[in-house]
Amino acid sequence: MAAVTALSVWLVPMLIGTILVCAILKKVPAYESFVAGGKEGFSLAVSIMPFLVGMLTAIGVFRASGAMEAMVQALKPLLTIVGMPSEVVPLALLRPISGTGALGLMSDLVKEYGPDSFIGRLASVMQGSMDTTFYVITVYFGAVGIHKIGDALKVGLLADAVGIASSVLIVTLVFG
Amino acid sequence: MINLIWVALFLVGMVYALFNGTVDEVNQAIFKSASEGVTLCIGLISVLIFWLGLMKVAEEAGLLSKLSRLFKPLMKRIFPEVPPSHPAMGYILSNTIANLFGLGNAATPMGIKAMEELKKLNGGKDSPSRSMITLLALNTSGMTLIPTTVIGIRMQYGSASPTDIVGPTLIATLCTTLSAILIDRYFYYRRKRKGKK
């Protein structure tokens, strides 16, 4: 395990080093290319802003009103039937919608039940094995000006459902 | 679709707040979330500039095309509509690799670059192509080898073995990613049957 952790620490510096050495060998004007690429980065960040503000505000209103909580409560019986502990139901439902919100809930569960408890481990695996579908769609499609999302949301949310189910199943098998 | 969801989030929230007596909270949330969106973007500026700059260097040094040649056989199956030597393939690969190693802030700029190239391939239309949905599915399924943030939080709360969830997380994320690809395929063939492109 230590090797894996060490690898991930060294990965970024190694990656940067490799790229720069290759650039020198190929006689690429490295600094000028970097600046040219970086300029694109700035305008990109600015162009995503309205998309994120719009989406986060809508989600913020939905959560603050208590509607999110009501939805969680309504779905709870259904999800406990399939074997999910009711404590992690809010996390499972929030994970695709809000990355920071899910991270907050996950640390809360880990603190409350202990990192080595069943709940703590399940929350950890759930947090680690999915991504924030809404955020990814907003940023990726927003940045390049895709206004019709097609089947993207359906695919993302269905995959999240599989992610939730497999997290519960695997954690139960390994630690249960 | 996205328009409908967006409006529904607002309206359901507002109507619910009316009955729930949480109008104050909703008022606060509107402005708090809006500034949160801006803060998030400002945080993204530094990583976008750095990684897109570096990727430009990598691209001009010919590293991206080398990378795509290496993984061509696998990627040709997942993205059948992208020509293997197209720059989009290089960006898709960099995005996938950055995701795998948990470099979320490096993955986003490369994913966006990949989307840009895919949009060009799609004739600049404002609806997503098949490959764009596949790329999105890969990214929403959250494939990571080492969930660093999660390990960090577990350490913070005194776990006896903070990394013991790495194996289960890997299996779970594999399930999610594989099913994301399969679900994406299913929807693609369904669109095709319906005669839509």
The torsion defined by the Cα of A59, A60, A63 and A65, in degrees rounded to 10, comes to -120
Shortest distance, CA A102 to any CA of chain B (angstroms):
11
Domain edges within chain A: 47-175
Residue-wise pLDDT for B144-186, tens only, equals 777 777 887 888 888 888 888 888 998 999 999 999 999 999 9
Per the domain annotation, does B14 fall within a domain?
Answer: no
Please answer yes or no on whether A151 and B187 come within 8 Å at the CB atom. yes
Please answer yes or no on whether B56 and A33 come within 8 Å at the CB atom. yes
Give the domain range for residue B36.
Answer: 32-196
Residue the block writes with tokens 């959250």: B142
- Is ipTM > 0.85 here? no
Q: Is the pLDDT confidence value at B40 over 90?
A: no
Report the candidate in A30, A20, A40 with the shortest Cα–Cα distance to residue B49.
A40
Shortest distance, CA B101 to any CA of chain A (angstroms):
7
- The helix or strand, by DSSP H or E, that contains position A169, with its residue range, turns out to be helix A152-175
- C-alpha A31: how far from chain center: 32
Q: Which residues of B touch A46 (CB under 8 A)?
A: 41, 45
Integer Cα distance of B60 and A28 in angstroms:
7
pLDDT at B133: 92
Per the domain annotation, does B93 fall within a domain?
Answer: yes
Best mean pLDDT range from A41-50, A52-61, A79-88, A159-168: A159-168
Amino acid at A25: L
Shortest distance, CA A55 to any CA of chain B (angstroms):
7
The alpha carbon dihedral of A130, A134, A137, A139 has a sign of: negative
Q: What is the mean pLDDT of residues A48-59?
A: 85
Considering only the beta carbons, identify the residue of A18, A62, A127 that sits closest to B150: A127
pLDDT at B99: 81
Residue-wise pLDDT for A107-128, tens only, equals 888 988 999 999 999 999 998 8
Identify the residue with better confidence: A44 or B88: B88
pLDDT at A6: 62
- Buried b / exposed e across B33-72, counting CB within 10 Å, b at 16+? bbebbeebbeebbebbbbbbbbbbbbbbbebbbebbeebe
Report the candidate in B146, B177, B161, B99 with the shortest Cα–Cα distance to residue A120.
B161
pLDDT at B11: 94
Q: Which residues of B touch A111 (CB under 8 A)?
A: 157
pLDDT at B102: 65
Q: Is the pLDDT confidence value at A35 over 60?
A: yes
Please answer yes or no on whether A62 and B101 come within 8 Å at the CB atom. no
Mean pLDDT across chain A, nearest whole number? 86
Integer Cα distance of A50 and B63 in angstroms:
33
pTM assigned to the model: 0.80
Per the domain annotation, does B7 fall within a domain?
Answer: no
Residue-wise pLDDT for B42-99, tens only, equals 877 887 888 888 888 988 888 877 877 888 888 888 999 998 888 898 899 888 887 8
**Domain total in chain B:** 1
Q: Which residues of A touch B70 (CB under 8 A)?
A: none
Q: What is the pLDDT confidence band of residue B1, given thresholds at 50, 70 and 90?
A: low
Coil, strand or helix at A6? helix
pLDDT at B103: 66
Shortest distance, CA B163 to any CA of chain A (angstroms):
8
Token representation of residue A56: 């986060």
